[in-house]
Every structure is written in structure tokens, then in C-alpha cells.
Amino acid sequence: MRISLNYKFLLQITGWLVGATAVLIMLLMQVLEHHEGTVPLWGQKSASTDLLIFSPALAFLTGLVATKLTHRALLRKKVLPLHWHLKSQTLIDRLPGHILHRAFMLSLAGGLVAGIILMLCRLRRIEQITYQEYLGMFFLHSVSLAGAITVMAVYRALGDYQMLKEAKAKKQSTST
């Protein structure tokens, strides 16, 4: 059984962006290395600061890159546009049409996920964790977030074909 062109693209893009995120996390943790034996949950040099700054930024950049790559693939006909008959009834299609606005909304989702993680730690009365546990948690959170944001951004961008076609036609008509 052959895999669909769109699924193949989605798996490739997700793999690349998750891999890039993993490398970025490893480098970032080497550079920051500001935590010693334990990491507090709250405070200036804490898990909350790292998560609440990094998660929205990661989601914004991942959404932006995934959307741009999908648009490029659509215009080069490397993927097929989505033609959903219930298009306006899906949550992903309610993301904004403008790329920067969409990336901003995805960054809010990243911040929300980080906030949920911190609140769950607070409910469990976790005030600090070991540095090794923190590295594992931060790594898993980051690659999971990158994967989820990539899937949402790619699916939303696959529905942008008509808009891209109109923009390309308009650009060609003004240049001639």
C-alpha cells in the first residue's frame, strides 16, 4: 500500500522540524546550563520562565516555517490541495488566513500547553525537579509541541491553495 503524497509530505516536514527542534533544544540546554542540581518550578531561573518563553517562540517559528514550506510545495505541485466539503466546520480551518496571524495563534497554543504543564506540576505540588528530569521534560515537551504545531500548520496551509493561486495570478497581472 502506497502512502498518499500529502501524508508523505506531512511525515517529511514533521520529521525535519522535530529533528531541528531536538538539535535546537540540545544546543540551548548546553548554552543556558544555568540550573544546577535542582530546578525550581517558579522564579527567575526556573522551569516556568524557560517554558513560558520558549514554547510560544517555538510554536510561532514552527508554524511559520511549516506554512511557508507547504505553500511552496503547493505552488510546485508537490502536494495536493485539500478540498473539504465541510471546510469551514473544522477547527484548524478557523486559523487566520494571514501567515503571521496564523503563526501568532499557534504561538498562543504553545503558551497554553506550557501553562497547562506548569499548572499540572503545581497541582501535584511539585516545587522543584532534578536537572536531569527537567532536561527530559523540556525535551519531550518541545519535540511534542513542534510535531503538533507542524501538523496543524501543514493541514491549514493545504487549504490555502485557492488563495495562493489568486495571489500568484494577481502578482503576474501587475508585473505584465
**What does each of the 176 residues of the chain score in pLDDT, given as a tens digit?**
677 888 899 999 999 999 999 999 988 888 876 667 888 888 888 888 889 999 999 999 999 999 999 999 988 989 888 776 445 567 777 788 888 999 999 999 999 999 999 999 999 998 988 888 888 999 999 999 999 999 999 988 888 877 777 777 777 777 76
pLDDT at position 124: 92
Buried b (16+ CB within 10 A) or exposed e, 8-42: ebbeebbeebbeebeebbeeebeeeeebeeebbbe
Share above pLDDT 90 across residues of the chain, in percent, rounded to a whole number: 44
pLDDT at 86: 43
What's the pLDDT tens digit per position in 69-83? 999 998 898 988 877
Share of the chain above pLDDT 70, in %: 92
